[in-house]
Amino acid sequence: MPVPRQSVRAAIHDLVAEGELAYTHEHGRTFLEPSSDRAVGVGRRIPLAPPDRAVASETNDLLIRVRPGVSFGAGRHPTTRLALRAIEAAVNSFKKAEEITAGRVLDIGTGSGVLAIAAVKLGFSGGIGLDIDPCALAEARENVRLNGLEGRIDVSDRAVESIAQRFTLVAANLRLPTLVKLAARIALLVEAHGALVVSGIRTEESSEIEAVYGKRGFRCVGSAEEYDWAGIVMRKM
């Protein structure tokens, strides 16, 4: 039975009023989409929320403040959520707490900076977020500041090839061709027995990624899917 148009309009009105949906005006058209001014739950312990948004969270939740912007990584896309859940899983894959607290994270293609921020809030001592987009760099630095992590996370436009140190965790929410192209370099950046989190790939691309990185000493220890996207956790043997 068709839903009356008046009921649909009333429901939309309520969702907009509650901040769940918002109207976006672009190129002379108006769109209705999920609001960027609301909290987004990702993973078991990580809610994302705008700076001034009140959030009812559990005691052990690690709230991350992300200012809405143009950069990727506000938690609206499945690949961001998969990457954040994979980081949680990667943290849980370490047997000793000191492996995390003494370790550092590298986030390649950091966007909003949310993956690096999440990793540090989950226990890593600090890290680096890399991006070449000026907007992403500015927004990631602002989000680092909002979360009180200045001095612990360095947001940089350095090329990944220029990074010499090794990291306990490397996160890369990138598309398949880039992940394949960077495989050799990424393998060098992950320290022995470290973890690699990969997202940004389609479910049918997972086997190729596992094969490419498997040849470089990585073993898949966990994976998840959302819609047609996949996130993978690998450990370096």
DSSP secondary structure, 49-60, as one string: E-TT------TT
Q: Answer whether residue 141 is part of any domain.
A: yes
Based on the domain organization, do 129 and 22 belong to the same domain?
no
Number of H helices, E strands in the chain: 8, 12
Degrees (nearest 5) of the Cα angle 209, 210, 216? Answer: 95
> 204 in a domain, yes or no?
yes
Residue 145 sits in the same domain as residue 199:
yes
| Strands 21-26 vs 218-226: parallel, antiparallel or unpaired | unpaired
Torsion angle (degrees, nearest 10) of CA 64, 126, 150, 71: -50
User: Cα–Cα distance between 77 and 82 in angstroms, integer?
Assistant: 9
56 belongs to a structural domain: no
CATH number at residue 196: 3.40.50.150
With 0-12 / 13-18 / 19 or more C-beta atoms within 10 angstroms meaning exposed / middle / buried, residue 5 is exposed
Please tell me whether residues 151 and 202 are part of one structural domain: yes
Taking only the tens of pLDDT, the chain with its 237 residues reads 677 878 777 777 676 666 666 665 555 666 555 555 566 767 777 888 888 877 766 656 788 999 887 776 667 789 999 999 999 999 999 999 999 999 999 999 999 999 999 999 999 999 999 999 999 999 999 999 999 999 999 999 999 999 999 999 999 999 999 999 999 999 999 999 999 999 999 999 999 999 999 999 999 999 999 999 999 999 999
In a domain, 41, yes or no: no
Q: How many domains does the chain have?
A: 2
59 is a domain residue: no
Print the domain residue range for 30: 1-35
In a shared domain, residues 118 and 210:
yes
On whether residue 143 sits in a domain, the answer given is yes
Output the pTM of the full model: 0.84
Beta bridge partners of 127: 105, 153
Geometric angle at alpha carbon 69, from 138 and 50, rounded to 5°: 105
CA distance readout (Å), 204 to 35, 104, 112, 197 = 30, 31, 27, 17
Let me know whether 227 and 134 are in one domain. Answer: yes
Look at the chain and count its residues: 237
Residues 220 and 121 grouped into a single domain = yes
Q: Are residues 107 and 19 in the same domain?
A: no
Amino acid at 175: R
- Token representation of residue 175: 């598309």
Same domain, 25 and 83: no
Based on the domain organization, do 125 and 15 belong to the same domain? no
Position 51 in a domain: no
Q: Are residues 139 and 190 in the same domain?
A: yes
- Cβ 35 vs Cβ 44: under 8 Å: no
Q: Verify that 205 and 89 share a domain, yes or no.
A: yes
Looking at the structure, tell me whether residues 98 and 183 fall in a common domain: yes
DSSP, residue by residue, 89-134: HHHHH-SSHHHHHT-EEEEET-TTSHHHHHHHHTT--EEEEE---H
pLDDT of the residue at 97: 92
